[in-house]
């Protein structure tokens, strides 16, 4: 894109004509779309004419949001879904078959980890590896490996996958490289830079930002050669190969599963996206200052944040990310009960969400990573006392003041 990130988002809807010259795409809430000429309806079904048939496959409001996300990720096409998990599930259901093998980072969002468990019962084999080193990914590859999946900055311990080298490895082997960009957002990092074929975003998090809508997206960067992917159904090869993957994700993942993003949350997400850059600049700046404050505090034993010099992937983050994100996790000194600490915080909300304008905190092992059990938690480096913080856009002094009093 030639304009800057925010300009592009702000003017994206106006790239196509909008009814009544409104300045952004309105909410289209109709479940169905009718045609004067029945032949046109048939053409829309066959993909011979652009248009909408039934709201489960999308509507003009979701299309406008999809165009915006494609621009944000510099991709060629995007499909939106009702949640981030729906986006991830749709991509896997559409693209994987029994007998396939997947290599995934072991540092994963808890529900993605659980979803891989389900795929395993359906006949897919998953290898979880420490993806901070490409060697571990390379060693796990098999002839049946269909895709490699990583997150950018892992939640909650903030490990950063070896994004550049994994991208090279996948390109060399002709493998589909899927990156969950939720934690960085396309403002901080574009996985396309390191040759990702598909990029996933939970729109619920920083892109919407206001904690008032759920959504997810899968973007095709245009870099993957779908003719090398053995799981495309013959009847979906009726379009140019660049569109094969997205067509199959839309048909098998969106239409058949029905995890459709409705127009109202799509509109809220689109509005939130307009200020993504402003909010991220502020939240990341807050996070860095707060991380430094906490790292120097005697009652905090560990701070995991890529913006700190002692983070193992600090240099990579500084080179490739615009900022180091708004997520960190901390461990408190022995004897401090993490629940008592959370209850002493006045501003910070105990909540499972992240990427919100408000600062949120959660005791990870007791909540979002509880279901997976102690062994998997240990593999992921999640101590019982670990607290995850998602930093918001509050005034920095207020935030630091709140942590200072809660630790006193
Ligand atoms: C939250 C999150 C998801 C899931 O998104 P939802 O919108 O909550 O379904 C997926 N991946 C990561 C990294 C997340 O943080």
289 pLDDT band (50/70/90 cuts)? very high
Sequence spans of domains, the chain: 72-272, 276-407
Asked whether residue 343 carries a pLDDT value surpassing 90, the answer given is yes
pLDDT (0 to 100) of residue 349: 97
Q: Does domain 276-407 have CATH number 3.90.1150.10?
A: yes
Q: What distance in Å separates the CA atoms of residue 134 and residue 307, rounded to the nearest whole number?
A: 22
CB 96 less than 6 A from any atom of ligand 1: no
Q: What is the 3-state secondary structure (H, E, C) of 99-118?
A: CCEEEEECCCCHHHHHHHHH
Q: What distance in Å separates the CA atoms of residue 244 and residue 227, rounded to the nearest whole number?
A: 8
With b for 16 or more beta-carbon neighbours within 10 A and e for fewer, the 42-51 pattern comes to eebeeeeeee
379 pLDDT band (50/70/90 cuts)? confident
Asked whether residue 101 carries a pLDDT value surpassing 80, the answer given is yes
Å from CA of 360 to ligand 1 middle: 15
* Nearest CA residue ID for atom 5, ligand 1: 84
Stretch 326-351: mean pLDDT: 95
pLDDT (0 to 100) of residue 44: 94
**Taking the CA of residue 291 as centre, how many other CA atoms within 13 Å lie in the half-sphere pointing to its CB?**
26
> CATH assignment of 72-272, given 1.20.140.10, 3.40.640.10, 3.30.300.30, 3.40.50.720?
3.40.640.10
For 250, the 3-state DSSP assignment is helix
pLDDT (0 to 100) of residue 2: 83
Give me the residues paired with residue 80 across strands.
Answer: 217
**For a pLDDT cut of 90, what percent of the chain falls above it?**
93
Q: Which atom of ligand 1 is nearest to the CA of 108?
A: 13
Q: What distance in Å separates the CA atoms of residue 299 and residue 183, rounded to the nearest whole number?
A: 27
From 159, 184, 204, give the residue whose CB has the most ligand 1 atoms within 8 Å, as the site to mutate: 204
pLDDT (0 to 100) of residue 372: 83
* Nearest CA residue ID for atom 2, ligand 1: 202
pLDDT (0 to 100) of residue 369: 86
pLDDT (0 to 100) of residue 179: 98
Q: What distance in Å separates the CA atoms of residue 197 and residue 241, rounded to the nearest whole number?
A: 13
For 388, the 3-state DSSP assignment is strand
Stretch 28-38: mean pLDDT: 96
Å from CA of 354 to ligand 1 middle: 9
CB 357 less than 6 A from any atom of ligand 1: no
pLDDT (0 to 100) of residue 280: 98
pLDDT (0 to 100) of residue 380: 80
Same CATH fold, 276-407 and 72-272?
Answer: no
Asked whether residue 1 carries a pLDDT value surpassing 70, the answer given is no
Task: Name the average pLDDT for the chain.
Answer: 96
Q: Which atom of ligand 1 is nearest to the CA of 214?
A: 7
With beta carbons less than 8 A apart as the criterion, state whether 219 and 192 touch. no
CB 259 less than 6 A from any atom of ligand 1: no
Cα 177 off chain centre by:
14
CB 211 less than 6 A from any atom of ligand 1: no
CB 260 less than 6 A from any atom of ligand 1: no
What are the backbone dihedrals phi and psi of residue 371, each rounded to the nearest 5 degrees, phi first?
A: -60, -30
Å from CA of 85 to ligand 1 middle: 6
371 pLDDT band (50/70/90 cuts)? confident
Å from CA of 271 to ligand 1 middle: 19
- The DSSP line for 368-381 is TTTTTHHHHHHHTT
Q: What is the DSSP letter of 192?
A: G
Å from CA of 242 to ligand 1 middle: 27
Q: pLDDT (tens digit, 9 = 90+) per residue, 244-263?
A: 999 999 999 999 999 999 99
Asked whether residue 143 carries a pLDDT value surpassing 60, the answer given is yes
Asked whether residue 214 carries a pLDDT value surpassing 90, the answer given is yes
Å from CA of 20 to ligand 1 middle: 36
CB 109 less than 6 A from any atom of ligand 1: yes
């Amino acid at each position: 894109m030639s304009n800057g990130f925010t300009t592009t988002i702000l003017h994206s809807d106006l790239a196509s004509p909008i009814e009544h010259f409104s300045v952004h795409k309105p909410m289209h809430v109709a479940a169905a779309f009718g045609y004067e000429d029945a032949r046109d309806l048939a053409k829309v079904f066959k993909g011979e004419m652009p248009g909408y048939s039934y709201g489960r496959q999308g509507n003009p409001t979701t299309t406008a949001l999809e165009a915006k996300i494609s621009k944000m990720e510099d991709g060629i096409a995007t499909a939106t879904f009702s949640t981030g998990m729906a986006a991830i599930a749709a991509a896997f259901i559409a693209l994987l078959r029994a007998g396939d093998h997947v290599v995934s980072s072991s540092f994963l969002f808890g529900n993605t980890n659980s979803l891989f468990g389900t795929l395993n019962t359906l006949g897919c084999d998953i290898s979880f590896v420490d993806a901070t080193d490409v060697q571990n990914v390379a060693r796990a590859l098999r002839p049946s490996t269909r895709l490699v999946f990583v997150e950018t900055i892992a939640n909650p311990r903030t490990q950063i996958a070896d994004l550049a080298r994994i991208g090279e490895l996948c390109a060399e082997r002709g493998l589909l490289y899927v990156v969950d960009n939720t934690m960085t957002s396309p403002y901080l990092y574009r996985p396309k830079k390191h040759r990702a074929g598909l990029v996933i975003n939970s729109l619920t998090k920083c892109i919407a930002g206001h904690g008032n809508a759920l959504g997810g997206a899968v973007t095709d960067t245009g870099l993957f050669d779908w003719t090398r992917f053995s799981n495309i159904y013959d009847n979906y090869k009726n379009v140019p190969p660049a569109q094969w993957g997205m067509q199959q994700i839309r048909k098998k993942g969106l239409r058949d599963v029905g995890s459709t993003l409705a127009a109202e949350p799509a509109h809220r997400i689109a509005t939130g996206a307009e200020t993504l850059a402003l909010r991220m600049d502020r939240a990341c700046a807050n996070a860095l200052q707060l991380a430094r404050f906490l790292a120097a505090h005697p009652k905090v034993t560990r701070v995991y944040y890529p913006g700190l010099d002692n983070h193992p992937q600090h240099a990579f983050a500084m080179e490739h990310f615009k900022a180091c994100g708004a997520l960190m996790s901390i461990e408190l000194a022995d004897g401090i009960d993490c629940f008592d600490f959370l209850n002493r915080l006045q501003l910070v909300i105990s909540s499972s969400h992240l990427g919100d304008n408000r600062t949120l905190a959660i005791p990870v092992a007791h909540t979002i990573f509880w279901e997976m059990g102690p062994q998997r938690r240990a593999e992921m480096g999640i101590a019982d006392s670990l607290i995850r913080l998602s930093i918001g856009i509050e005034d920095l002094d207020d935030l630091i003041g709140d942590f200072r009093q809660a630790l006193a």
